[in-house]
Amino acid sequence: MSGSAAPVLAARGAALAFGDRVLWSGLDLDLAPGEFLAVLGPNGAGKSTLLKAVLGQQPLSAGDLLVDGRPPGRGSRSVGYVPQQKSMDAATPLRARDLVGLGLDGHRWGMGRRSAADRRRIDEALHAVGAADYADAPIGLLSGGEQQRVRIAQALATDPRVLLCDEPLLSLDLRHQRAVSEMIDRRRREHGTGVVFVTHEINPVLDLVDRVLYIANGQHRLGTPAEVMTSETLSALYGTPVDVVTVHGRIVVVGTPDHAGGPCEHHEQPVDDVRRPVGSVAGAGR
């Protein structure tokens, strides 16, 4: 992760505000190839909005942003995007391989057949995330963990320089959280893909993270986890006493205003990672 290579993502004095409400400002960031950046902060702090800015969906209020040396453009192949896991309709007429294929050519007009090269690429992407076994299964019948693997294959099919992940572990059980984050880790090590990983829970990826961008109250701190995840830094950021304690290697933040009375970095109850039968209502039986 040396600073010598050109950054895959660079921000200079970047700011984003809606009217008077400043989400973040004065953001200076160089994301090196293969670097893993976790973006943390309370709900509404502007974590996802940062991803939108990189995707070219949200213009900055001030400053500059360069993605792979160019201003953010809609539909850039340099950027891969992994959304939150959302259960897809069980009757969606797409197989896992088709979802990956749409990541490759879904923007092209028409309905022509995919080239052999594209089909090979799709197979490789599925294989790389261990999803080859269910490549031909309907996407709506896959479990949440399986769907997230397919989504990572989809995001990586265009061989992006930057991979944006918006809470990709949400609603996955611990085993799948681990598998999915290690898949992302392997990719950035082997291909030098820069990773921007938005999450409200750093622990599942704590040992993978190079740097943390913590956004709160219209301000931010950028540094290694050891620098940012401290009582002093977060107390200054929130403007109120916050305790950061380490319990069995897990970081627990206590006393942030948005989670008064409890640890802030808690996670939703793990959801049973079961395959849904056709016709079941999403969410039922959980």
Partner 1 sequence: MNDLFSYADYGELLGLVHNSLIAAALLGVVGGLVGVFVQMRDMQFAVHGISELSFAGAAAALLLGINVSLGSVLGSLLAGGLIGLLGVRARDRNSVIGVLMPFGLGLGVLFLALYKGRAANKFGLLTGQIVSVDTVQLGWLVSVSVVVLVGMAVIWRPLTFVSADPDVASARGLPMGLLSVAFTLLLALAVSLAVQVVGALLVLSLLVTPAAAAFRVTASPVLAPLLSAGFALVAAVGGILLALGGSIPISPFVTTISFLIYLVCRGLSSHRVRAGWGRRGPVAAVDDGPALALR
**Binder among 3, 19, 75, 283 for partner 1 (CB under 8 A):** 75
Contact 56, 76 (CB under 8 A): yes
Contact 214, 240 (CB under 8 A): no
Residue 78 or 256 with smaller CB distance to partner 1: 78
Contact 157, 77 (CB under 8 A): no
Site for partner 1 in 77-96 (CB under 8 A): 79, 81, 83-84, 86, 88-89, 91-95
**Binder among 10, 22, 102, 251 for partner 1 (CB under 8 A):** 102
Site for partner 1 in 110-129 (CB under 8 A): 110-111
Q: Write down the least CB distance from residue 262 to partner 1, Å.
A: 26
User: What's the maximum distance between 2 C-alpha atoms anywhere in the chain?
Assistant: 60
Instruction: Write phi, then psi, for 45 (nearest 5 degrees).
Output: -75, -20
Residue 48 or 256 with smaller CB distance to partner 1: 48
Residues 6+ apart with CB under 8 A from 23: 16, 17, 45, 46, 49, 215, 218
Distance CA 257, CA 272 (A): 31
Q: Write down the least CB distance from residue 55 to partner 1, Å.
A: 5
Site for partner 1 in 136-165 (CB under 8 A): 136-141, 145-146, 151, 154-155, 164
**Binder among 119, 178, 250, 267 for partner 1 (CB under 8 A):** 178
Taking CB under 8 A as the binding criterion, the range among 39-47, 119-127, 202-210, 259-267 that sits at the site for partner 1 is 202-210
Contact 243, 253 (CB under 8 A): yes
